[in-house]
Structure 1
Amino acid sequence: MRKAVIREVRAYVIAPAAMGADYHNQPGGHWIIDLPIANPMSVYEEYKARRTSWGINALGTVVVQAELDDGTVGIGCSIGGEPACYIIERHLSRFVEGKDPRNVELIWDQMWRATLPYGRKGVTLHAISAVDLAIWDCLGKLREEPIYALLGGKTKERLPVYATTARADLAKEWGFQGAKIPCRYGPADGVEGLKKNVAVVAEARGQVGPDFPLRLDCYMSLTVPYAIELARALAPYKLHWMEECLPPDDYDGYAALKAAVSHICLVSTGEHEYTRYGFRELIARKCADILQPDINWVGGLTEARRIVAMAAAYDIPVIPHGSSVFSYHMQYAFTNCPIAEFLVMSPKADRIVPLFGELFKNEPLPKDGCMDLPGAPGWGVELNDKLELVRPYARQKSEGKQHKGRG
């Protein structure tokens, strides 16, 4: 592999109306924002009807390009918008520019340690993730190999995929290996809401038959007593798992929930958890049967692969949240990543479209319930030429050389 250094890291936002990495940034008429879906803000009547009303899409997409001195450009993305751009351009860039991309572990560790005073979770880790993914893309292109080959190669010839959707019936028809539907109502909706949740699951089970795997996505919206009651009420419908029932930091609550419903269904979580330290808590406290880091949020591939390895020591499956191509490569490479998630992002959930919208020219799509990745170098995707990229915190070329002198 030829030697190279990272010449520049650049952080962009895209057009405000574009979806990109923020799949909740949808116009009206889309199932993911227009259906009643239980969420942390459902307890407030004025924010119950649509998740965009309380700003689930407030930050938007951040796109990162890492350019090497030979002109090679790596791509990463996350949610974070302009705040993430500021962190990347004004802070993280000093740990990236002028460095050997092969030293991705060192770069990650310096970005993480330097942001501890204000970071640890949330948008800061989103920013680190986007940079990390761009560096890995550079590495793949330098070695002329796909990312999964850098991680040790394929552990499976095809990657099975399940669908997150409002139409479980179509997921089965398309050949997906199971479906996950949203939990519609939460504790604030009382007994009637719980009955409606049971009716929705019962309808889906009736559509797909007794053997098709069904999961329920609860998006941090429930309490421990409500989640236990709901699991018991749904027992006749044989859910595979209930996902992210509680706020992410309620480790004691997850442990209690898992202990209470283990004879009914599995408990999964981790979509909004960050770094190996958060997942160490989930493992140590026996919070979940399945871990679900989002590769675009958790700290990128560098941190995600540590989480997968840690989980393997406890025989815990890792089934990443979303992440599209960024998770598919990792899942190919690890034996304890048995199946991938694919979000059906067409407005009526009646067509298979790219998770990241028009962000990439060639985002891979599942076929017959499986994902097949091409052998293209890096992540194997290219930014769409039609994107309106805006770099809000562009720096002078000499500015990167001055980082070490700043306090």
Structure 2
Amino acid sequence: MKIVNVIPHAISVPLQTPFYFSQGWVHARSSLIIEIQTDEGITGYGESLCHGLQSPHVAAAMIEHSLKPLLLGRSPFDVEVLWEEMYNLTRPYGQAGIAVNAISGVDIAIWDVIGRALNKPIHSLIGGAFRTEVTPYATGFYRTAVQSYPMASVDEAHTYLESGFEAFKLKIGFGVDEDIALIAAVRESVGPNVKILADANGAYDLATARKLVGETESLNIYLYEELLSPENLKGYKSLKSHSTPLIAAGEQVFGKMGFQPWLAERALDVIQPDLCSSGGITECKKIAALAQANHTQMIPHVWGSGVGIAASIQFIASLPSTPLSLNPTEPLLEFDQSSHPFRTDLIFDGIEMKNGKVQVPTKPGIGVEVNEEVIEKYKVN
């Protein structure tokens, strides 16, 4: 089997109601879906993550002009060889950022091809599944210009609880006093037993983050995500040493080389590589091995379309708990509930939550089918 075409599909749809978070306004939901075609008629799909302010055209250009020529005529079963060659090719102008972001989507598409060729889900090809279902937490709580806070966030929290979620992640980073008021209002409304996470998207310096964590200690936050910028390893290490809630980050760290110092320094309680940006299946399995060797939990970041969510579920299924035990702490699934015009339509609604759990798909490859009509409808390149 040989790869005969690599097509980066840039998709973008304007939001009817733009929303904002600590880094700015999101006016459209975008994604880069990578399609890999083979000479045996088997096609695979992957995704390169588009953060809220990221254009899909950048990674598309990286694939079209750098990665595609290397891949044509190659066997998808040489997936690890291809990963290392793609990384080595882009090393002089990559090593992180958009280069690894693009490689991630290609790698997922290659694994999708392999799974479909062998009629196996990806988790069966990377060691098996430690679990048949995963526990999701709802990501949302982005702000709009037409709502009043914190009450809109309190109402949103109850919407998730009514849908069956037992955990959700607040958006913070709007100023310490406002964040404290938000967390307090939501905690008071939902009671003491709901698991609350909070994500600042790198909005604070160490002193400000320490103040926020200290003044919300009684509110029982389970995990704080990206309180500091992704360059501030020493700051995270200091914050972790003084924090009762778990301290997490990593969606803006790339590959095993990027995560190595974070793990060696014990800078985080939880690392959060994004499968669609931090290296794909091939590299994230290696990051997971490093995390296990350094006794650090992994809860992957997930914010893509249905393609990225499906691939991430396959990956999460393969992660051992840290450590294995009779009643282990299982990795969670970040299950984005924010406004997204094509997230579920792209995979024919192939993933859903029932009774507070998301089943691990057992169909070949990423476990879902991709709706090509949705790609064509929203394609912008």
The two structures have a TM-score, normalised by structure 1, of 0.80
- 1:296 deviates by 0.6
What secondary structure does 1:51 align onto? Answer: strand
* CA deviation profile, 1:304-346 (whole Å, cap 9, x unmatched): 1111111011221111111411211011111135211111124
Cα distance in 2, alignment partners of residues 315 and 150 from structure 1: 24
- 1:386 deviates by 3.4
* CA deviation profile, 1:256-283 (whole Å, cap 9, x unmatched): 111122xx21100001111111111111
Question: Kindly tell me: are residues 390 and 168 of structure 1, through their superposed partners in 2, closer, same or farther at Cα, counting changes over 3 Å?
Answer: closer
Contact 1:159/1:371 (<8 A) preserved: yes
Q: Aligned ranges for residues 112-127 of structure 1 at < 5 Å?
A: 112-127=87-102
Contact 1:168/1:180 (<8 A) preserved: no
Cα distance in 2, alignment partners of residues 297 and 216 from structure 1: 21
- Give the equivalent residue in structure 2 for 1:140: 115
Q: Which runs of 5+ in 2 are unaligned?
A: 142-155, 303-307, 322-329
Cα distance in 2, alignment partners of residues 203 and 226 from structure 1: 20
- 1:127 deviates by 1.1
Cα distance in 1, alignment partners of residues 298 and 99 from structure 2: 23
- Give the equivalent residue in structure 2 for 1:386: 374
Cα distance in 1, alignment partners of residues 47 and 132 from structure 2: 27
Cα distance in 1, alignment partners of residues 13 and 139 from structure 2: 23
* CA deviation profile, 1:75-127 (whole Å, cap 9, x unmatched): 01123522222221221112211111111000000000110111112211111
Determine whether 1:319 maps to 2:307.
Answer: no
Determine whether 1:170 maps to 2:176.
Answer: no
* CA deviation profile, 1:124-154 (whole Å, cap 9, x unmatched): 1111111111100000001101111111221
Determine whether 1:7 maps to 2:4.
Answer: yes
Which of 1, 13, 18 is the equivalent residue of 1:17? 13
- 1:390 deviates by 4.9
Identity across the alignment (%): 29
Contact 1:11/1:391 (<8 A) preserved: no
- 1:177 deviates by 3.0
Contact 1:273/1:298 (<8 A) preserved: yes
Q: Which runs of 5+ in 1 are unaligned?
A: 19-25, 40-49, 187-193, 348-352, 393-407
The two structures have a TM-score, normalised by structure 2, of 0.86
- Give the equivalent residue in structure 2 for 1:305: 285
Letter of the 2:331 counterpart:
P
Letter of the 2:82 counterpart:
I
Contact 1:162/1:369 (<8 A) preserved: no
Cα distance in 2, alignment partners of residues 249 and 184 from structure 1: 17
Q: CA-atom RMSD, angstroms?
A: 2.0
Q: Rg bigger for which structure? A: 1
- 1:172 deviates by 2.4
Stretch moving more, 374-383 or 133-142: 374-383
Greater share of residues in strand: 2
- 1:169 deviates by 2.2
Q: Aligned ranges for residues 50-61 of structure 1 at < 5 Å?
A: 50-52=24-26, 60-61=30-31
- Give the equivalent residue in structure 2 for 1:296: 276
What secondary structure does 1:115 align onto? Answer: helix
What secondary structure does 2:353 align onto? Answer: coil
Determine whether 1:370 maps to 2:354.
Answer: no
- Give the equivalent residue in structure 2 for 1:272: 252
Cα distance in 2, alignment partners of residues 327 and 387 from structure 1: 20
